[in-house]
Amino acid sequence: MTKSPHSQAAPPDITVTNMTKRFGSLVALDEVSIHFKPGTVHALLGENGAGKSTLVKCMMGYYHADAGSISVDGTERRISNTRDAHRFGLGMVYQHFTLVPSMSVAENLVLGEEGLPAIINWKKKLSALEAFLDTMPFRLELDRTAASLAAGEKQKLEILKQLYLGSRFLILDEPTSVLTPDEADEVLGLMRQMADEDRISILLITHKLREVEAYASDVSVLRHGHLAGQGKVSAKSEASLIRWMIGRENVSKPAARKETKVVRTVLEVEGLTVNNDKGTVAVDQASLSVSSGEIVGIAGVSGNGQSEFVETLAGQRREEAGDIRVQGYPYSRTRAEMMDWHIHLLPEEPLNNGCVREMTVAENLAFRNFDREPNCRAGIFIDRGAIHRQARRLIERFNIKTQGPDARIETLSGGNIQRTVLARELSDNVRLLIVQNPCFGLDLKAVAEIRNRIIDARNKGAAVLLFSEDLDEILELSDRIAVIFEGKLVYETLASEADVHTIGRHMASHA
Amino acid sequence: MDAASELGWWGVLIAVFGGAIRVSTPYLFVSLGETLTEKGGRVNLGLEGILVMGAMSGYATAVVTGEPWLGVLVAGCAGAALALLHALVCNLPRVNDIAVGISLFIFGTGLAFFLGKAFINPTAPRLPHIELGAWSTYPQIRSALEINVLFIIGAILAPVLAWSLKNTKWGLVLRTAGDSSEATLALGYNLNFVRTLGTVVGGFLSGVGGSFLSLYYPGSWNEGLSSGQGLMAVALVIFARWNPMHCFYVSLLFGGATAIGPALQTIGITSNYYLYGAAPYFLTLALLIYSSSTKHRLAGAPNEVSISR
């Protein structure tokens, strides 16, 4: 079966039957059967680790399922690699883009073409590409490099690439995690429209209920590798979807937000300019202030300078210009200052940025105070017993699930690593807390718990600066919200007056 | 008045020009080879070893068969074989290409010295050159315009490679492998295979560059032949921003720098000769400092190459 690029074949009818995949003793996927009707947007809903990715990787031929089968248009097919999948019209749009950054849009489109000739006649190719783009609901300039595209445009290019290669069954893996709300609306809206026109089928992997309700017609929910339920989206309430997803009706309520009086400014940043590793400006003359008893949330799409901002506040990166002051004094991010002023930090990817992998949980918990009484005697001798006792106390208080204080930190799950770092940073009384993406990749229960702890710190009078790529998280936690775009703080509002669409618009432009 | 003083400073310029072409040829081949290797996402620091091995094997072949072009071919194949070794070792998981490159550097030079002992004395036939300066009565101009054939091949190869990287399937796939391993895998290509091929072709070119040293200029085989040119070519690739055409220009620049000392000698300036001899090394150092500045963006660097991370 050969297929010319961008043929207008109908979308295939795909059925997955009793798909099972084990990794060692872990059953990642347990006899899952789903029928994907052609011309629909079918949502695959589930928490992180529920088996969504495993299922689609089995369908795409990345993994070899231990049992089960897949049939295309009624015929059972063996898909043992991506090329097989492409042959049957299956294509995947990845969460992490697979574009080649230095290449042009045209080169990226042509790259995956089957039977690409040894010598490429660009003149002919470019006119063919233009003709193809004319049949698409959105278009991109062919000569721009992929690196210069905005996140939404990259996503479009990924989708165009799959359509150009002849895929009629598109798997979108968490497509909105890197998009602003408006970009997400646009891209998913167009996908829905193409599906309604019966040109393609979409399998939408997500953990956001809002997206399921807005764009999908059918939904299947995975939980711990099982198919927890499926049906028409219109026939299901949000509550029943949540029950399928996490096994019970509701997660714990958000912590009560105590009225705090904003007393004094704790952190002041003025005209901060920071470069990234490549020497181009990442943070551009940013100014903000955070007072005790408030959470200031910085919203923004990933890669707009958040990491460089946090690294500078953490003392991991040198600023090019600007002032950072804590309680009115210049803050040069020494360990002594951090201790005196009780400045604490919960960085993104804490295993990489806030822990030493090979060290034990107890040692990682003692990073802030191992050189202080009672952990350190006479300023020289480390008292391992005291560090151990401190660790047991914190493990208990913060519900860290570990084999014990002596387990290496890298053996813990993501949520428990996050709890460990949080325990270390919050055990002291906190005056300034800087947090970045605290709940990334965690399950709903851990998310609720960690957010509660952050609110709790605020209620006790800490100034909290929260960087998050999850707009819902910003809206839930913040007292004030600012938007970072291309390193500039472009918009600020009180949370009580915040409007999602205004914020979303600023996340995508200076407007 | 002899011809040299008649030309005065022009003589220096002409000598630098001729020297640039002569000396740049090995740089050109090695840097083109390294560009291909790095475009695929790996750094091969073993080029120095490959260069020396190419010089030795090419010379030995020419001595034995009396056929210098056969020597060039054998040198290329020897380079390709060493590069294959580099590639195969790097294909293993968690192997660092820099470390492998350094051991290959030492292995290659050591092997060449060991096998080449017997060929230090005999004389091999030289590679041909084309006389473009026959119209002139000045011997300086005549000698400066003796263009060696390998240089011409290299000068043609540079635009051909630049074109191929843009306009052929293999060029695109190689650049993909160098820029994004995820994309390569997602496209269904075998990442290690693509990189192996890039490294081997790169090794072939570097080997050919080595044969130039022993078969044309300086034109004999001894153990001090290369004096670090293979390593300098790595710096040169960074300066040339992984662009074959820039490799060509930068090679000429390096060649010109090397030729300054001898050129000054022709008009009788002999003081500080060794200082001028160090010019290309100063240039390397300066270029590396310039291109490693944190402010200066390494545009064009393949993302997967460990020096650009």
- pLDDT one-digit tens code per residue, B198-252: 999 999 999 999 999 999 988 889 888 888 888 888 888 988 889 999 999 999 9
Residue B228's domain spans which residues? 3-291
Check A111 against B176: CB less than 8 A apart: yes
Closest residue in B to A93 (Cα) is: B186
* DSSP codes of every residue in A61-113: TSS--SEEEEEETTEEE---SHHHHHHTTEEEE-SS----TTSBHHHHHHHT-
* Distance from C-alpha of A363 to C-alpha of A369, rounded to nearest angstrom: 10
Tell me what pLDDT residue A503 has.
Answer: 86
Q: Does A147 touch chain B (CB under 8 A)?
A: no
Residue B38 belongs to a domain: yes
Choose the mutation target among B179, B290, B291, B296 for the interface with A, i.e. most A CBs under 10 Å: B179
Decide if B160 is inside a domain. Answer: yes
CATH of the domain at B39: 1.10.3470
CA-wise closest residue to A45 among A189, A180, A231: A231
The residues with which A14 forms a beta bridge, in sequence order, are A36, A72
Judge contact between B283 and B258, C-beta under 8 A: no
Q: Mutation test of the interface with chain A: which of B294, B296, B307, choosing the one with the most A Cβ atoms within 10 A?
A: B294
pLDDT (0 to 100) of residue B297: 53
CB-based contact (8 Å) between A115 and chain B?
no
Helix and strand numbers, DSSP H then E, in chain A: 17, 22
B77: in domain: yes
User: Is B212 a member of any domain?
Assistant: yes
The answer to the question of residue B274 being in a domain is yes
User: Secondary structure of chain B: what % helix, strand, coil (to 5)?
Assistant: 70, 0, 25
CA distances from B74 to A457, B112, B200, B206 (A): 72, 13, 14, 12
Domains and CATH numbers, chain A: 14-246 (3.40.50.300), 252-342+429-511 (3.40.50.300), 359-428 (no CATH)
Classify residue A20 as exposed, middle or buried by CB count within 10 Å of its CB (0-12, 13-18, 19+).
Answer: middle
Task: Report CB contact under 8 Å: A102, B300.
Answer: yes
Handedness of CA B114, B115, B121, B127 (dihedral sign): negative
Helix (H, G, I), strand (E, B) or coil at A17: strand
Within 213-232 of A, beta carbons closer than 8 Å to B belong to none
Helix (H) or strand (E) holding A231: strand A226-232
Q: How many CB pairs under 8 A join A and B?
A: 67
Q: Which has more pLDDT, B145 or B85?
A: B85
For the residues of A110-158, what is the DSSP string, one character each? HHT-TT--SB--HHHHHHHHHHHHHTSSS---TTSBGGGS-HHHHHHHH
Termini Cα distance of chain A = 49
How far, in Å, CA of A295 to CA of A300, rounded?
Answer: 16
Examine residue B300 and state whether it is found in any structural domain, yes or no: no
What are the residue ranges in chain A where pLDDT is below 50?
1-7
The DSSP H or E segment spanning A173 is: strand A169-173
Interior/surface letters A465-494, b for 16+ CB within 10 angstroms, e for the rest:
bbbbbbbebbbbbbbbbbbbbbbbbbbebe
CA distance A78 to A15: 13
Strand order through the sheet with A329-330: A281-291, A265-275, A321-326, A329-330
Which chain B residue is nearest to residue A98, measuring alpha carbons?
A: B183
Q: Do A119 and B167 touch (CB under 8 A)?
A: yes
Is B307 domain-assigned? Answer: no
Closest CA to A369 of A381, A387, A392: A387
Count how many domains chain B has: 1
What is the mean predicted confidence (pLDDT) over B97-119? Answer: 92
Q: What is the DSSP string of A350-370?
A: HHHHS--TTSBHHHHHTTTTT
Task: Give the alpha-carbon dihedral of A447, A450, A456, A461, to 10 degrees.
Answer: -120
**B173 located within any domain:** yes
Whether A118 sits inside 8 A of B170 (CB atoms) is yes
**Residue A275 touches chain B, beta carbons under 8 Å:** yes
DSSP-derived 3-state class of residue A205: strand
Nearest chain A residue (CA) to B292:
A278
Give which of A145, A53, A166 is closest to A99, Cα–Cα: A145
Pick the closest to residue A260 from A290, A298, A299, A297 (CA basis).
A290
The 3-state DSSP class for residue A196 equals helix
Name chain A contacts of B165, Cβ cutoff 8 Å: none
pLDDT tens digits for range B260-279? 888 888 777 777 778 888 88
Interior/surface letters B252-279, b for 16+ CB within 10 angstroms, e for the rest = bbbbbbbbbbbbbebbeeeeeeeebeeb
Instruction: List the strands of the sheet with A463-468, edge to edge.
Output: A343-346, A432-436, A463-468, A295-299, A480-485, A488-494
Does residue A110 belong to the interface with chain B, where contact is any CB pair within 8 Å?
A: yes
Using 50, 70 and 90 to split pLDDT, how confident is the model at B259?
A: confident
Q: Which residues in chain A have Cβ-Cβ distances shorter than 8 Å to B187?
A: 82, 98, 111-112
Give me the pLDDT at residue A248, please: 60
Whether the CB of A318 is below 8 Å from some CB of chain B: the reply is no
- Predicted confidence (pLDDT) at residue B309 exceeds the cutoff of 50: no
H/E stretch holding B283 reads helix B279-291
Q: Is A501 exposed, middle or buried (0-12, 13-18, 19+ CB in 10 A)?
A: exposed
Shortest Cα–Cα distance, B297 to chain A (Å): 5
Q: Among B167, B172, B297, whose Cβ lies nearest the Cβ of A279?
A: B297
Strand pairing category for A432-436 and A201-206: unpaired
Task: Give the pLDDT of residue B155.
Answer: 95
